[in-house]
Chains A and B, each alone.
Chain A
Amino acid sequence: MTATTAASPKGRRRDGPNRPARGGRRHRRSAGPLFVAPFMVLFLLLFLAPLGFAAYLSLYQERLIGGTVFVGLDNYVQAVTDPLLVHGVVRVALFFVIQVPLMLLLALLFALALDSGLLRLARVIRLGIFVPYAVPSVVAALMWGYLYGPDFGPFAQLSRDLSLPVPRFLSDGWMLGSLANIVTWEFVGYNMIILYAALRTIPAELYEAAAMDGAGAWRIAWSIKLPALRPALLLTLLFSVIGSFQLFNEPNLLMKVAPDVISSSYTANLYAYSLAFTGQQVNYAATVSFLLGLVIVIVSYAVLLTANRRRTS
């Protein structure tokens, strides 16, 4: 759809009220689609086509007798009443509600501290906090998995030396928190940098004016910096929604360390993966991943709408 419009440069020109008049430079209108086309073609093939294919697959079932049959929304009915999937989504939602606010709050505090100009070694601290982002989540999960370990993990070693009870990071009750810690460790720095970069674009005159009016550091942070951070915060929140709901790497790797705690349906995404690749239930896997995508889009829109409503009110 988009590729065809993008590829038809001779389209009628519509200078709506928002479109700046462009004079009669015909070559300009033909060049735009030319630049956009390579991206849009690949976007169509590698983004929209799989999405459409998943939607198509989700309407069929493979049966022993009769082969592949159209079943309408049967797979969806099965999915929303599937306790394994529902538990996976609820677990991930719980993770999201606890981990994301904590992570963004930390990122915000760090960004404000860095921007305050009160820190010594600011540069070292900024890069040090960001470094975990460059660590593959596989390596992060492996590292923390070893650190959590009850045998040679340093926390266990220390508690044993001090005759304290050994913390059971990989037990059923702690696992979600342990996962949250890994994800927080990985992404606080990334979010901090986005927020910090946004803070740096606030013009200095604003601060000078506020200082003249007698505003202190806290007042400036509250009345100037936080409002200016709104778009950046929204961006980080949006990425966190997307990231949390597709949680896969960390639980998949810790599964090998704690197979009794993490099942193959621990998160929705893990479930979709095991359905497709160990269960051979391709159609149902497509349904689950399509539903998961839908949940993410809905939550993202809810986040955007709430933020926009608050802005206008």
Chain B
Amino acid sequence: MTTTPQPSAPLAQGTPPAAAPTTPAAKPARGALPRRPRRGPRRSTPLTIAMLAALAYFLLPLFWLVIASTKSTQDLFNTFGLWFSHAPQLLTNVKDTFTQDDGVFVHWLLNTVLYAGVSAVGAALLAAAGGYGFAKFRFRGDRAAFNLVVGAVMVPATALAIPTYLLFAKAGLVNTPWAVILPSLVNPFGLYLMRVYAEDAVPESLLEAARIDGAGELRIFFRIVLRLLGPGLVTVLLFTLVATWNNYFLPLIMLNDPDLYPITVGLSSWAAQAQNGGSGASSDMLALVVTGSLISIVPLVVAFLLLQRYWQSGLASGGVKQ
């Protein structure tokens, strides 16, 4: 087996992310990262058993979630948590989740897709252009600007959230989708990652050749560089997607109209209702919270599985250079 060096030779992966493997689970041999030749065929059974035990810990809550989402609220209380009840009703729960409060859950789902999608694509493009600019060009103040951005990695997003809220309130942006999307577009770590990645992945000679052929800088960037940056770009895209999809603090602060909530804030408001309700009208809320939770994690898990070969090699470059 040959080792595919990465990230120095992503040329082989010049296909756009959209053409990513469609059935990744079925193609384990084309795994995410290049494999070294195996050193001896022996495998360790005790080590495998120990790791499977660890795996059980990580999968247990998800196993519980799958089981729990097949139960009515009553069965959640009355039957053993780690096994199915006698009357599984997953489809009823899913239907109820989608129809509760005039289908507000569908709003939340669509909002999440919108916020996370726009933020991730925007942040990845901005980071790619910026990272490429810092990696391949020298200009006045470039070092100071880059250091400023890298230093900003350490500033916690939540320390910014409250002043950002106040500024947005003055600008009339609070309680609009922009309040959630705009702050997510700036990803200092993404820029750092893209710079490191671009240094290796974009050969000077290719740029020179394109320039000699008379291509403009923008054209070079969109036609050539973006493709070379593929795996790094997917990494930033996916991790911004997760960060925005899972974001709770920012939308909690910025939004107060339930129709604008993303899933996280919506679910926590349902959870609060289920907690307060106890019995009576909202006694069925618990099953909806559980089922909604399950539905909310499916898209990201699928995204990670589909794109794993890209994001894993992209992450490698960030962890190696510092």
Contact = CB atoms under 8 A, between A and B. Distances in A.
B79 to A, nearest CB: 8
A118 B148 CA distance: 43
Contacts of A139: 264, 267, 293, 296-297
A121 B48 contact: yes
Interface in A151-168: 151-154, 157
A204 B153 CA distance: 33
Interface string A33-67: 11110111011001101110110010000000000
A34 B217 contact: yes
A35 B132 contact: yes
Interface string A177-190: 00000000100110
Contacts, number: 329
A194 B319 contact: yes
Interface stretch (B11-19, B59-67, B88-96): B59-67
Contacts of B64: 143, 146-147, 154
Interface stretch (A1-9, A76-84, A97-105): A1-9
Interface in A222-243: 231-232, 234-235, 238, 242
Contact of B140 (A5, A22, A157, A246): A5
Given A39-B127, A282-B166, A147 B245 contact: no
A272 B31 CA distance: 44
Nearest to A194: B319
A129 B58 contact: yes
B129 A43 contact: no
Contacts of B264: 136, 138-139
Interface string B249-279: 1000100000000011101100110010000
B248 interface: yes
A39 B96 CA distance: 43
A273 to B, nearest CB: 8
Interface centre among A27, A253, A257 (most CB of B within 10 A): A253
Contacts of A297: 151, 154-155
A290 B159 contact: yes
B149 interface: yes
Contact of B47 (A119, A245, A277, A285): A119
Size range of the chain A interface in the assembly: 35 or more
Nearest to B59: A128
Contact of B133 (A33, A146, A253): A33
B312 A193 contact: yes
Nearest to A228: B320
A289 B156 CA distance: 9
B137 A35 contact: yes
A142 to B, nearest CB: 6
A32 B58 contact: no
B262 to A, nearest CB: 9
A231 B320 CA distance: 6
A130 B126 CA distance: 27
Interface centre among A12, A129, A197, A201 (most CB of B within 10 A): A197
A27 to B, nearest CB: 7
Interface string A246-259: 10110011001100
B121 interface: no
A138 B268 contact: yes
Given A130-B304, A131-B62, A142-B267, A39 B126 contact: yes
Interface in A105-128: 106, 110, 113, 116-121, 123-125, 127-128
B138 A22 contact: yes
Contacts of A282: 162, 166
Contacts of A57: 163, 166
A68 B28 CA distance: 63
Contacts of A131: 58-59, 62, 301, 304
A125 B52 contact: yes
A214 interface: no
A19 interface: yes
B206 interface: no
Given A28-B137, A136-B264, A245-B156, A120 B316 contact: no
A40 B126 CA distance: 9
B155 A47 contact: yes
A276 B162 contact: yes
Which are the 3 A-B pairs with shortest beta-carbon distances? Answer: A32-B137, A35-B133, A5-B141
18 contacts: A11-B141, A25-B211, A35-B133, A53-B167, A116-B44, A117-B38, A123-B31, A135-B300, A136-B296, A139-B267, A200-B36, A242-B154, A242-B156, A246-B157, A246-B158, A277-B253, A293-B156, A296-B154
Interface of B: 3, 6, 28, 31, 33-34, 36-39, 42-45, 47-48, 50-52, 54-55, 57-59, 61-62, 64-65, 68, 76-78, 80-82, 126-127, 129-130, 132-134, 136-142, 144-145, 148-149, 151-167, 182-183, 185-186, 188, 191, 211, 217-218, 221, 242, 245-246, 248-249, 253, 263-265, 267-268, 271-272, 275, 289-290, 293, 296-297, 300-301, 303-305, 308, 312-313, 315-316, 318-322
Given A119-B47, A124-B55, 12 more contacts: A19-B138, A39-B129, A47-B186, A50-B163, A54-B160, A118-B42, A207-B36, A242-B153, A242-B154, A252-B248, A272-B159, A289-B158
